Amino acid sequence: MTENHRSMNEPLDSSRRSFLTKLWLLLGGVALAGYSSAVVAFLRPRKTGGTSDDSARIIEAGPVERFHPDSVTAFIRGRFYLCRLDDGGFLAISSKCTHLGCSIPWVEDERRFVCPCHASTFGISGTVLNSPAPRPLDLYPVIIQNNIVRVDTGKAIRRGRFEASQVVYPRKI
Protein backbone atom coordinates (compact mmCIF):
# COMPACT_ATOMS: atom_id res chain seq x y z
CA MET A 1 0.00 0.00 0.00
CA THR A 2 1.41 3.35 -0.97
CA GLU A 3 1.70 6.34 1.30
CA ASN A 4 -0.93 8.15 -0.76
CA HIS A 5 -3.32 5.26 -0.59
CA ARG A 6 -3.09 5.00 3.23
CA SER A 7 -3.67 8.69 3.81
CA MET A 8 -6.77 8.63 1.60
CA ASN A 9 -8.25 5.69 3.63
CA GLU A 10 -7.49 7.10 7.09
CA PRO A 11 -10.41 9.57 7.26
CA LEU A 12 -12.73 6.81 6.01
CA ASP A 13 -11.56 4.36 8.75
CA SER A 14 -11.86 7.06 11.34
CA SER A 15 -15.43 7.97 10.38
CA ARG A 16 -16.40 4.26 10.22
CA ARG A 17 -14.95 3.70 13.70
CA SER A 18 -16.81 6.75 14.97
CA PHE A 19 -20.08 5.51 13.40
CA LEU A 20 -19.67 2.04 14.96
CA THR A 21 -18.93 3.56 18.36
CA LYS A 22 -22.10 5.66 18.17
CA LEU A 23 -24.09 2.65 17.01
CA TRP A 24 -22.89 0.57 19.99
CA LEU A 25 -23.66 3.41 22.38
CA LEU A 26 -27.16 3.72 20.90
CA LEU A 27 -27.81 -0.03 21.16
CA GLY A 28 -26.46 -0.07 24.71
CA GLY A 29 -28.77 2.82 25.62
CA VAL A 30 -31.79 1.04 24.16
CA ALA A 31 -30.94 -2.17 26.04
CA LEU A 32 -30.41 -0.24 29.30
CA ALA A 33 -33.75 1.57 28.90
CA GLY A 34 -35.55 -1.74 28.31
CA TYR A 35 -33.90 -3.36 31.30
CA SER A 36 -34.67 -0.35 33.52
CA SER A 37 -38.35 -0.32 32.60
CA ALA A 38 -38.58 -4.08 33.31
CA VAL A 39 -37.02 -3.56 36.76
CA VAL A 40 -39.37 -0.65 37.54
CA ALA A 41 -42.41 -2.70 36.44
CA PHE A 42 -41.27 -5.60 38.65
CA LEU A 43 -40.76 -3.39 41.72
CA ARG A 44 -43.96 -1.35 41.34
CA PRO A 45 -46.60 -2.39 43.92
CA ARG A 46 -49.58 -4.35 42.57
CA LYS A 47 -52.79 -2.40 42.21
CA THR A 48 -55.67 -3.54 44.42
CA GLY A 49 -59.30 -3.80 43.50
CA GLY A 50 -60.90 -3.84 40.09
CA THR A 51 -57.88 -4.97 38.12
CA SER A 52 -57.47 -7.75 35.61
CA ASP A 53 -55.54 -9.63 38.33
CA ASP A 54 -58.91 -10.24 40.00
CA SER A 55 -59.98 -12.67 37.31
CA ALA A 56 -57.00 -14.90 38.05
CA ARG A 57 -57.28 -14.53 41.81
CA ILE A 58 -61.03 -14.79 42.35
CA ILE A 59 -62.50 -18.18 41.57
CA GLU A 60 -66.21 -18.54 40.95
CA ALA A 61 -67.29 -21.69 42.78
CA GLY A 62 -70.92 -21.64 41.69
CA PRO A 63 -74.44 -21.00 43.02
CA VAL A 64 -75.09 -21.53 46.73
CA GLU A 65 -77.51 -24.44 46.10
CA ARG A 66 -74.78 -26.44 44.42
CA PHE A 67 -73.15 -27.03 47.81
CA HIS A 68 -75.09 -29.15 50.27
CA PRO A 69 -74.81 -28.49 53.99
CA ASP A 70 -72.09 -30.60 55.64
CA SER A 71 -70.19 -31.08 52.37
CA VAL A 72 -66.63 -30.55 51.17
CA THR A 73 -65.83 -29.71 47.54
CA ALA A 74 -62.26 -29.67 46.24
CA PHE A 75 -61.11 -26.94 43.85
CA ILE A 76 -57.88 -27.94 42.15
CA ARG A 77 -57.42 -24.48 40.66
CA GLY A 78 -56.79 -22.31 43.69
CA ARG A 79 -55.88 -25.32 45.84
CA PHE A 80 -58.68 -25.01 48.36
CA TYR A 81 -61.71 -26.84 49.65
CA LEU A 82 -65.07 -25.14 49.82
CA CYS A 83 -66.63 -26.46 53.01
CA ARG A 84 -70.31 -25.90 53.68
CA LEU A 85 -71.01 -26.47 57.34
CA ASP A 86 -74.18 -28.14 58.56
CA ASP A 87 -75.67 -24.73 59.46
CA GLY A 88 -75.29 -23.57 55.83
CA GLY A 89 -72.20 -21.38 56.32
CA PHE A 90 -69.17 -21.46 54.00
CA LEU A 91 -65.45 -21.68 54.62
CA ALA A 92 -62.76 -21.82 51.91
CA ILE A 93 -59.93 -23.85 53.38
CA SER A 94 -56.40 -24.06 52.02
CA SER A 95 -55.27 -27.54 51.06
CA LYS A 96 -51.80 -26.87 52.45
CA CYS A 97 -50.97 -28.50 55.75
CA THR A 98 -49.90 -26.04 58.45
CA HIS A 99 -47.17 -28.40 59.64
CA LEU A 100 -44.77 -28.62 56.68
CA GLY A 101 -46.99 -27.74 53.74
CA CYS A 102 -48.03 -31.09 52.28
CA SER A 103 -51.27 -31.18 50.29
CA ILE A 104 -54.02 -32.69 52.36
CA PRO A 105 -56.90 -34.74 50.98
CA TRP A 106 -60.41 -34.80 52.45
CA VAL A 107 -61.23 -38.36 53.50
CA GLU A 108 -64.99 -38.66 53.21
CA ASP A 109 -65.23 -41.95 55.15
CA GLU A 110 -63.54 -40.39 58.15
CA ARG A 111 -65.12 -36.96 57.66
CA ARG A 112 -61.78 -35.24 58.13
CA PHE A 113 -58.69 -33.97 56.32
CA VAL A 114 -55.78 -36.38 56.77
CA CYS A 115 -52.25 -35.26 56.01
CA PRO A 116 -50.33 -38.03 54.22
CA CYS A 117 -46.96 -36.75 55.47
CA HIS A 118 -47.10 -36.88 59.27
CA ALA A 119 -50.73 -37.85 59.93
CA SER A 120 -52.12 -34.57 61.22
CA THR A 121 -55.89 -34.48 60.91
CA PHE A 122 -58.29 -31.56 60.65
CA GLY A 123 -62.05 -31.23 60.97
CA ILE A 124 -64.39 -29.81 58.34
CA SER A 125 -63.78 -26.27 59.63
CA GLY A 126 -60.01 -26.81 59.42
CA THR A 127 -59.40 -27.18 63.16
CA VAL A 128 -56.60 -29.49 64.26
CA LEU A 129 -57.84 -32.85 65.52
CA ASN A 130 -54.42 -34.50 65.69
CA SER A 131 -50.97 -32.88 65.75
CA PRO A 132 -48.17 -32.25 64.78
CA ALA A 133 -49.93 -29.46 62.83
CA PRO A 134 -49.60 -26.39 65.07
CA ARG A 135 -52.70 -24.47 63.94
CA PRO A 136 -55.88 -24.74 61.86
CA LEU A 137 -55.75 -24.80 58.09
CA ASP A 138 -55.55 -21.35 56.50
CA LEU A 139 -58.62 -19.71 55.02
CA TYR A 140 -59.38 -17.75 51.87
CA PRO A 141 -62.04 -15.03 51.87
CA VAL A 142 -65.46 -16.18 50.64
CA ILE A 143 -67.67 -13.66 48.83
CA ILE A 144 -71.35 -14.41 48.18
CA GLN A 145 -73.09 -12.01 45.82
CA ASN A 146 -76.31 -12.60 43.89
CA ASN A 147 -76.32 -16.14 45.25
CA ILE A 148 -72.96 -16.95 43.63
CA VAL A 149 -70.07 -18.14 45.80
CA ARG A 150 -66.63 -16.80 44.94
CA VAL A 151 -63.30 -17.36 46.66
CA ASP A 152 -60.45 -14.87 46.70
CA THR A 153 -57.29 -16.98 46.50
CA GLY A 154 -54.97 -13.96 46.51
CA LYS A 155 -53.81 -14.31 50.07
CA ALA A 156 -54.36 -17.07 52.61
CA ILE A 157 -55.55 -15.98 56.06
CA ARG A 158 -53.56 -17.52 58.88
CA ARG A 159 -55.56 -18.15 62.04
CA GLY A 160 -54.82 -19.34 65.55
CA ARG A 161 -58.19 -21.01 66.07
CA PHE A 162 -61.60 -21.44 64.56
CA GLU A 163 -64.05 -18.62 65.28
CA ALA A 164 -67.68 -18.36 64.21
CA SER A 165 -66.94 -14.99 62.58
CA GLN A 166 -64.84 -16.80 59.94
CA VAL A 167 -67.93 -18.47 58.48
CA VAL A 168 -69.69 -16.71 55.59
CA TYR A 169 -73.45 -17.15 55.19
CA PRO A 170 -75.59 -16.58 52.13
CA ARG A 171 -78.14 -13.84 52.52
CA LYS A 172 -81.64 -15.14 53.27
CA ILE A 173 -84.03 -14.40 50.39
Contact positions vs ligand FES (CB under 6 A): 97, 99-100, 102, 115, 117-118, 120, 132-133
Nearer to ligand FES, 120 or 166 (CB): 120
Smallest distance from ligand FES to CB 115, Å:
3
Rounded to the nearest whole angstrom, what is the least distance from the CB of residue 93 to ligand FES in the complex? 14
Cα 13 from Cα 21, distance rounded (Å): 12
Helix H or strand E segment including 74: strand 71-75
**CA end-to-end span of the chain:** 99
Smallest distance, Å, CB 110 to ligand FES?
A: 15
**Residue with smaller CB distance to ligand FES, 92 or 137:** 137
